[in-house]
Amino acid sequence: MMKERKLFYCVGGHSFCVVFKDECNDESLIPSFARFRQEEPADTLLFTLTVDDSFRFKTKGEEIGQFDCGGCNHGVFCTDNMEYQYEISDVHGVLCSYMQSSPDFRNCSVAIMGKTWSQRNYGLNNALMMTYAFASAEKQTMLMHASVIRHQGKGYLMTAPSGTGKSTHTRLWYDNIPGCDLMNDDNPVVRIVDGQAIVYGSPWSGKTPCYRNIQAPVGGLVRIKQRPENSIRKYSPIEAFSNLLPAISNMKWDKRVYKGVCDGIAELIRLCGMYELGCLPDAAAAHLCHDTIVK
């Protein structure tokens, strides 16, 4: 019988533990986490997630919603003890994992159900992403759907619905504005630390394999919209809030998570503001954005 393995990671300044209970699973399922590995456990852990393929829901809770994870909806259930349960399925509708968590997401169990490596990677990777987002929500930490370009030591976050052009725009910065590098292309971590907004690379980056354990002060926030000509304007605080809320991993039915996300957004807007960029996919749009938001 394989002895369980405890591995420690640190993402966005928060440490957590992944416990592998059997020989069917190990860290090779989550290669994007390699650069975030910690050899020694931290004094405080955000959460512990146990991977055990023999785990099953003892009693299935009441379905309370669907969590949209990049176009894949995961069923969300709640037990009488206020524990959360998830059925995590991929874009083809294949059930990839079961997960059950404590009400505060400090302790989770996951059974990986996928047959192929890709399905098993998806099941564990998404379980970790949701656990991280919901466990850290009240710590002024946000997992944001955005592409982040770093320029002159600051991170600039471009948000938009999938397929709208946020990755295209950060690429235009990279190609046309000297001194840029990509921090993350889909799910960076944003935190408020000692009154400053900080953006971190993460193990989650969508289709672009950009898994960098780096951080930078937030230089600006931009909502990308496709338009027939280039234009930019600063949002009012209410506009900024309404555009940021859908971009952040959230569970509106959980008061603790929802309040944490809303408080984090409000502080992020106060510190950084936000712009709307109506643009074409051209170099002029990148220069207009850069010249307006880079202070």
139, 159, 183 — which closes off a domain? 139
Same domain flag for 130 and 233: no
Residues 62 and 84 in one domain: yes
280 and 161, same structural domain?
yes
Same domain assignment for residues 222 and 249: yes
pLDDT per residue as tens digits for the range 251-271: 888 999 999 999 999 999 999
Are residue 31 and residue 121 in the same domain, yes or no? yes
Query: Number of folded domains in the chain?
Result: 2
> Would the pLDDT of 161 be above 90?
no
Residues 227 and 256 occupy one common structural domain = yes
Give the CATH number of the domain where residue 225 resides. Answer: 3.40.50
Q: Is the dihedral of CA 247, 249, 252, 256 positive or negative?
A: negative
- In angstroms, rounded to a whole number, what is the distance separating the alpha carbons of residues 88 and 109? 13
Looking at the structure, tell me whether residues 107 and 244 fall in a common domain.
no
295 CB contacts (<8 Å, ≥6 apart)?
Answer: 219
Burial class (CB in 10 A: 0-12, 13-18, 19+), 112: buried
> What range defines the domain where residue 14 resides?
5-139
Specify burial of residue 78 (Cβ count, 10 A radius: 0-12, 13-18, 19+): middle
Please check whether residues 29 and 133 belong to one and the same domain. Answer: yes
Mark whether 229 and 106 lie in a shared domain.
no
Last residue of a domain, one of 139, 163, 189: 139
pLDDT at 1 over 60: no
Contact 8, 37 (CB under 8 A): yes
Alpha-carbon 136 to chain mean position: 11
262 lies in the same domain as 127: no
Q: Do 250 and 209 belong to one domain?
A: yes
Confidence band of 285 (pLDDT split at 50, 70, 90): very high
pLDDT, tens only, 211-234: 999 999 999 999 999 999 999 999
| Residue where a domain terminates, one of 139, 156, 191 | 139
- Its pTM stands at 0.94
Q: Are residues 106 and 250 in the same domain?
A: no
Residue 152, amino acid: Q
